[in-house]
Amino acid sequence: MEKDNKIEKKSRRAFLKDASVKGAGALAGAAALLTGSDDAEAKATWAEHFQKNYRLMTDEEKKESAERLEKRYSEEYGKKVTVGIEPAMPGVLFGYALNIQKCIGCRRCVHACVKENNQSRHDENGKATEIQWIRVIRMEKGNFAFDQNKMDQGYPHDKNFKHGVQVGGNAYTNLGTLLEGQHYYQPEKVPEKDAFYFPIQCHQCEKPPCVKVCPVRTTYRDPDGVVVIDYNWCIGCRMCMGACPYWARRFNWGKPNLPAEDMNPKTHYMGNRPRMKGVVEKCHFCLQRSRKGRYTACIEVCPVGARKFGNLLDPNSEVRKILDRKRVFRLKVEMNTYPKFFYFVD
Amino acid sequence: MKMVNFATDFLCYALKGGSKFYTWLLFLGFFIMIWAYGNYTQISQGMIVTGLNDQVSWGLYMSNFVFLVGVAAAAVTIVFPAYVYNYKPLKDVVIIGEMLAISAVIMCILFVLSHMGRPDRLWHIMPVIGILNWPNSMLTWDVIVLNVYLGLNVVCGFYYMYKKYTGEPVNKVFYMTLVYVSIVWALSIHTVTGFLLNTMPTRPMWFHSMVPIKFIVTAFSAGPAFIILAFFIIRKNTKLEIKDEAINMLSTIITFCLSISLFLTLCEIVTELYPSTEHSFSLKYLLFGKHGLSGLVGFFWASLAMNIIAFILLINPRTRKNHAILPYTCAILFVGIWIEKGMAFVLPGMTPSPIGEFAEYTPSWIEIGNSLGAWAIGLAIFTILAKGAIGIQLGDVKYSEVKGEQYEK
Amino acid sequence: MKNNNMIKSIFSFIALSLLLSGVAFAEEEADPLVCYESRGMIDEDGEVVGYTIVEQTDVDTGWPNIKCSPTTKGVLWWGDPFDGTEAMGEMPVEADYTHEEAVVKPRETHLMEVIGLFPCADMCHGDPEVVAVPKNNKPRVLTEMHLEKFEDETGEPASLRHGRGAIWCLNCHNRTNRNKLIDHMDNEISFNQPQKLCGKCHGQIYRDWRDGIHGKRIGMWVPGGKKRWWVCTECHDPHNVQQAPGNRGFAQLLPEPAPELPKGMKNADHEQEHGVHDASSGHGAAAKH
């Protein structure tokens, strides 16, 4: 530890002295230890800083780095933490279906996700933000209401409508488009009479734009269709956040604030293990659960059973039956992303 | 040996100057200190110290980056007439353009480093030791073209100065090949930066094939404007003779490019607002504000007004050629384009978020300090490089067998 | 000696304080963290009431059976989905999941112990001297005991919330044995298997439920894995299924807190603004340019 401190002080000095340094090599090691000694990241070993991209590791290397993390996390959070490295299950392609007719907008999925996936919690001192991977949008049913008083109105604003109405008076009131919802609704009770709700999270696209734009291939699609992120390889450029059409990705702006007592000790390397500051994260269909056959946290908490999950390759799976039997749509099909997240109505 | 002499002589000349020179460097040094503090804070606490959030995840750093890529590319406005048209008045000062390109690319790199959440992991993007997702990721293209452009300008500029220093003739084939490559390359850097943004259909405001050309014409307005300002300062403070023709040539280039830029702005507004689909929400938010949020409205109209005023002053030959007015025109234009690329292009592209959330972003003081500091570093580098280059161009810095003779008047 | 005494007294002081703090600590821990599984709420007294109340305990170190929502007191996360469940018994025919290990949380125990319905049924409806066994299934005006099941509390059959007079209590409840429900053939149905009762009328939904595409199930998604099936009445109130129009068959509940506002935003008032703004800036703006 003392040695680490020494190195740290030295490199800090070196860094400040050579302030205009543009060479990446010099920065690579120095800045890693610039994070302050009380920081959890400072406890990370050199091996952690200089390990390969997860995808390129051999099985031994994966095991080694998972064990390294287990040791560090267990010490840090004061309980036995496991870091799984289960690969995708053979013959499984994950799919998700959400019944928007059922959703009551209670946001339990949002918070279940936070509890399961060790996201950063709200910090009173503003040193970290609360990260949530699911966003429930409230859509006003009134958007579809048409006003009888506006039937004689419109554009051009000509009293006698000599030239005919080009735009009816009911235009420019929202059509319930996705771009007109409310994200911060907080009524006494849900569901509200005049609203329906639209949860959005990562759609695990077959053709994910976020993966294409990543300059270091830290994010990629695993064989079971889940788009994963190697948190240790991410450089924090946020290209993926710019490219994602579903606004599924979140950034660790500060050092994640994860209280030890609320930390979920069953983790996966590509899933819910604690993240560090400066990296991107998002929904991964609870890899740590789903790859062991368990439902995701959001599925289990939904009080109305609006969320369904399963293997798209299994014709008897719940998702496949929904695709066969219900009216299904995908969000933003025009983006050609082929999401594996389906919305449906009964 | 000659190389070492060149380096020491160049630096000695570049770093020696009058009180004005040192005051200027000290002034920049103040901002560089702020930059150092700001970056230390940002690295130790994370990007939480910026005003950025998940809704608007690209901000001031990215805006400045985009703008400065343009400034870097604008060196070509000197190089091109000088070598392709063999335009003598610009040929004498071509080196200043190259030094500007070097400084601007360095600033770009500084802004990218500030933008990154994990600058310590920059090595992940290096081929061989890391993974470069080329050709898939547009950012890797940008990294490549910018670094090659930096290399080209360093080699071109310093090779030319070294030859001038030693008094040897320039190897025409080698030098001219590099010059021609760098001319095309200059266009590529801003084109690729345009592609970086406009290949994201998620952000409808950027998703426009017009972006690269608009980037280039705005760059070729703001860049030469900066060069003209530099020329006026150099003329006033050094013995380097910069001909009026050189400045007039540049102001003509600005006029052409600015008129195209304004035309493209008009095209964009009409194309977006005539059908007025959901995809024009960003532009509407920028132009008029939306749902009571209007943080960028003032910036857009201010930038448009600045560009139009500059255009009027430039299109009229009497005001354009009036060198008492021209510096002000250039300053107005430079600021106008800076706003246009940042507050009126990069930022509104992030609002609303892809799922329709409107959030306004205000840069934090740390972000502003870091940006000012990065500019200060770039300007300091430019000052030093340009000063050395002027010394060489004037023949003040010359290779001589006897040490110490070169500073005798 | 003196020293010894002092040491002794110090020790006993420490021991006492440790003991006291231990007691205080234990007392704190003794207050169990409880929340409801479904159809629940915090009532006026701040008590958690609901269909099934569960207590948070650690299954593994740092791995509780459930996590409760601090705001709504609903179960927010499932560590152990099978706590307190038993085999569902005979699976409905036609289902593809017959090979699975299906479990449910037994209703009858809950009704008996928590709500106290069964003793009541035994005491009132089981004793002809208290309440006579109805001679047939014909509707009639009900006594005050059950008026909350009616829309206007008149007890008129037409105002029964479920079915609005098209069905009657005894279409579902066993006329002679109130501890059981009843099917079309007058066979008894356990309260543990309300799906068999509801399926009498709601065939399509029953089919969807059997196939796992209606309703909630937790546990393992893998074919052959163990699943806890949630039965109809765990989510829907059988006497008031519809709730209010637009409620999608669920009672209203308190939502979990809204997300943190984006940095720099003071409020989300702009979300309330609608179309009006566009009417002036939309088309008019295009015309301006």
| pLDDT band (50, 70, 90) for residue C59 | confident
Q: Give the per-residue pLDDT at C26.
A: 44
Q: pLDDT at residue B249 above 90?
A: yes
- The CA-atom distances, in angstroms, between A135 and each of A142, A238, A283 are 21, 19, 11
Q: How far apart are CA B17 and CA B13, in angstroms?
A: 8
User: Is residue A308 a contact partner of residue A288, using CB atoms and an 8 Å limit?
Assistant: no
Q: Give the per-residue pLDDT at A6.
A: 45
| pLDDT band (50, 70, 90) for residue A198 | very high
Q: Give the per-residue pLDDT at B163.
A: 94
Contact B51 C263 (CB under 8 A): yes
For B2, phi then psi, to 5°, come to -60, -40
Q: Give the per-residue pLDDT at B157.
A: 95
- The CA-atom distances, in angstroms, between B98 and each of A206, B73, B106, B107, B360 are 45, 10, 13, 14, 38
Structural domain containing residue C36: 32-80
Give me A29's structure tokens.
Answer: 């090691």
Q: CB neighbours of B184 closer than 8 A, spacing ≥ 6?
A: none
Among C263, C273, C276, most B C-beta atoms within 10 A, so best to mutate, is: C263
User: Is residue A331 a contact partner of residue A98, using CB atoms and an 8 Å limit?
Assistant: no
Lowest mean pLDDT among A151-155, B156-160, B331-335, C161-165: A151-155
| pLDDT band (50, 70, 90) for residue A41 | low
Q: Give the per-residue pLDDT at B349.
A: 95
SS3 state at A137: strand
When divided into structural domains, chain C yields a total of 3
Q: Does B288 touch chain A (CB under 8 A)?
A: no
For the residues of B1-47, what is the DSSP string, one character each? -HHHHHHHHHHHHHH---HHHHHHHHHHHHHHHHHHHHHHHHHHHBG
Q: Does C63 touch chain A (CB under 8 A)?
A: yes
Q: How many CB atoms lie within 10 A of CB B394?
A: 14
Q: What is the pLDDT of residues B281-320, one digit of tens each?
A: 999 999 999 888 999 999 999 999 999 999 999 999 999 9
| pLDDT band (50, 70, 90) for residue C91 | low
Q: What is the pLDDT of residues C100-143, one digit of tens each?
A: 788 988 888 777 766 666 666 667 787 777 787 888 888 887 77
Contacts of B68 in chain A (CB under 8 A): none
Lowest mean pLDDT among B80-84, B192-196, B395-399: B395-399
Find the mean pLDDT for residues A286-294: 97
Q: Are residues C12 and C69 in the same domain?
A: no
Find the mean pLDDT for residues B316-338: 97
pTM: 0.89
Q: How far apart are CA B327 and CA B315, in angstroms?
A: 15
| Radius of gyration for the alpha carbons in chain C, expressed in angstroms and rounded | 27
Q: pLDDT at residue C25 above 50?
A: no
Task: Kindly report the nearest CA distance between residue C255 and chain B, in angstroms.
Answer: 20
Q: pLDDT at residue A21 above 70?
A: no
Q: What is the pLDDT of residues B145-173, one digit of tens each?
A: 999 999 999 999 999 999 999 999 999 99
CA atoms within 13 A on the CB side of C155: 8
* Helices B211-237, B172-198: crossing angle, 10 deg rounding: 130
Q: Are residues C90 and C231 in the same domain?
A: yes
Q: What is the pLDDT of residues B339-369, one digit of tens each?
A: 999 999 999 999 899 998 999 999 999 999 9
Does an H or E element contain C227, and which? strand C226-229
* Chain C from 210 to 229: CB within 8 A of any A CB: 211-223, 225
Q: pLDDT at residue A14 above 50?
A: no
SS3 state at C180: coil
Torsion of CA A279, A285, A286, A292, to 10 degrees: -130
A304 vs A158, which has greater pLDDT? A304
| pLDDT band (50, 70, 90) for residue C41 | confident
Q: How far apart are CA B175 and CA B181, in angstroms?
A: 10
Encoded amino acid at B254, one letter: I
Residue C288 lies in a domain: no
Residue C286 lies in a domain: no
* Helices B172-198, B138-166: crossing angle, 10 deg rounding: 150
User: Is residue A146 a contact partner of residue A168, using CB atoms and an 8 Å limit?
Assistant: no
Q: Are residues C40 and C111 in the same domain?
A: no
| Matching residue, tokens 């709200």 | A122
Q: Give the per-residue pLDDT at A42.
A: 61
| pLDDT band (50, 70, 90) for residue B178 | very high
Contacts of C36 in chain A (CB under 8 A): none
Find the mean pLDDT for residues B244-248: 95
Give me C122's structure tokens.
Answer: 């035994």
Q: Give the per-residue pLDDT at C163.
A: 86
Q: What is the pLDDT of residues A68-122, one digit of tens each?
A: 999 999 999 999 999 999 999 999 999 999 999 999 999 999 999 999 999 999 9
Q: Does B202 touch chain A (CB under 8 A)?
A: yes
| pLDDT band (50, 70, 90) for residue A169 | confident
Q: Does A290 touch chain C (CB under 8 A)?
A: yes
Contact C258 A191 (CB under 8 A): no
Give me C163's structure tokens.
Answer: 């079915």
Where are the CATH 3.30.70.20 domain residues in chain A?
94-134+201-345
Q: Confirm or reject CATH 3.30.70.20 for domain A94-134+201-345, answering yes or no.
A: yes
- A and B: number of Cβ contacts within 8 A: 187
Contact B284 C263 (CB under 8 A): no
- Assign domain B2-399 to its CATH superfamily: Formate dehydrogenase/DMSO reductase domain (1.20.1630.10)
Q: Does C128 touch chain A (CB under 8 A)?
A: no
Find the mean pLDDT for residues B59-72: 97
Q: Are residues C211 and C151 in the same domain?
A: yes
CA atoms within 13 A on the CB side of C42: 16
Q: Give the per-residue pLDDT at C287.
A: 32
User: Is residue B193 a contact partner of residue B199, using CB atoms and an 8 Å limit?
Assistant: no
What 8-state DSSP symbol labels residue B243?
A: -
Q: Give the per-residue pLDDT at A15.
A: 42
Nearest-CA residue of chain A relative to B381? Answer: A20
Q: pLDDT at residue A5 above 50?
A: no
Q: Are residues C102 and C226 in the same domain?
A: yes
Q: How far apart are CA A315 and CA A324, in angstroms?
A: 9
Residue C281 lies in a domain: no
Q: How large is the ipTM?
A: 0.92
Lowest mean pLDDT among A138-147, C164-173, C199-208: A138-147
Beta strands A135-140 and A82-84, pairing class? unpaired
For the residues of A38-86, what is the DSSP string, one character each? TSHHHHS-HHHHTPPPGGGS-HHHHHHHHHHHHHHHHHHHTS--EEE--
* Distance, C-alpha C55 to centroid of its chain: 14
Q: Does B361 touch chain C (CB under 8 A)?
A: yes
Of B117, B125, B356, the CB nearest to A279: B117
Q: pLDDT at residue B40 above 70?
A: yes
Domain boundary assignment for chain B:
2-399
Q: pLDDT at residue A236 above 80?
A: yes
Q: Give the per-residue pLDDT at C15.
A: 53
User: Is residue B359 a contact partner of residue B57, using CB atoms and an 8 Å limit?
Assistant: no
User: Is residue A321 a contact partner of residue A309, using CB atoms and an 8 Å limit?
Assistant: no
Encoded amino acid at C2, one letter: K
Task: Kindly report the nearest CA distance between residue C74 and chain B, in angstroms.
Answer: 29
Q: Are residues C167 and C211 in the same domain?
A: yes
